[in-house]
Chains A and B, each alone.
Chain A
Amino acid sequence: AQKITQTQPGMFVQEKEAVTLDCTYDTSDPSYGLFWYKQPSSGEMIFLIYQGSYDQQNATEGRYSLNFQKARKSANLVISASQLGDSAMYFCAMRVGYSGAGSYQLTFGKGTKLSVIP
């Protein structure tokens, strides 16, 4: 069975500093995808970044980067130069295989609440 673990229920970071949100995963399938989503207090789920299990390089999207350590089964999100608008819940999620016709399940972690301090 697939599992995503986010061990930090809450994190604080000073504005303009970098922060790392931890995510570890468990799967025996060699092919999988890892996603990070942001959920601000307004409630929507915003896609941030994706890493495929066969990707050689760590994914980056603007101020977001994914520190992918395959042997450790970790996929930590790094946010550089934190901004007040980064305060939100952050969810790590994993896709393993497909259920058919392109459908797949995302297995989510419990989330980390990030608070950016001015």
Chain B
Amino acid sequence: DTAVSQTPKYLVTQMGNDKSIKCEQNLGHDTMYWYKQDSKKFLKIMFSYNNKELIINETVPNRFSPKSPDKAHLNLHINSLELGDSAVYFCASSLPSGRKDTQYFGPGTRLTVL
């Protein structure tokens, strides 16, 4: 009964490659997010989607493109991978605004670019 799941958990690839990370949530939430955690453990939001619509789009290289086929899925595609893209990427989801619209996170995907 996984709430927010991500695949793969680990991703090792060469510079210049294109890769995707998939995220699915079974919580019935309308909003999904991508966060990046760098090597110093600092977490920063990248994107958010609500019901397949892009809402938040932080200053992220346009090599990163989120895609939401439906409100339960939010995938992250990265083109032309660079060494600096190595990080842990977290997907999260939340209900629409309310008192306790907590964001619930997936297990993370550790991306290593060689």
Contact = CB atoms under 8 A, between A and B. Distances in A.
B56 A103 contact: yes
B31 interface: yes
Contacts of A98: 97
B43 A91 contact: yes
Given A44-B107, A102-B31, A108 B55 contact: no
Given A43-B110, A44-B108, A100-B55, A105 B45 contact: yes
A104 B30 CA distance: 12
Interface string B71-114: 00000000000000000101010111101111111111010000
B51 interface: yes
How many residues of B sit at the interface, in one of the four size bands?
35 or more
Given A43-B88, A111-B41, A104 B97 contact: yes
Interface string B41-61: 111110011110101101000
B56 A110 contact: no
Contact of B101 (A89, A104, A105): A104
Given A102-B94, A111-B41, 8 more contacts: A43-B88, A43-B108, A44-B106, A93-B43, A101-B31, A104-B97, A104-B101, A108-B42
Contacts, number: 75
Contacts of A46: 105
B58 to A, nearest CB: 8
Interface string A78-104: 000000000001010100001111111
B31 to A, nearest CB: 5
A37 B106 CA distance: 13
A13 to B, nearest CB: 20
Contact of B96 (A37, A47, A89, A101): A101
A53 B50 CA distance: 25
Contacts of A37: 105
A50 B100 contact: yes
B44 A43 contact: no
Contacts of A44: 105-108
B114 to A, nearest CB: 20
Contacts of B102: 35, 47, 50
Contact of A108 (B44, B48, B104, B106): B44
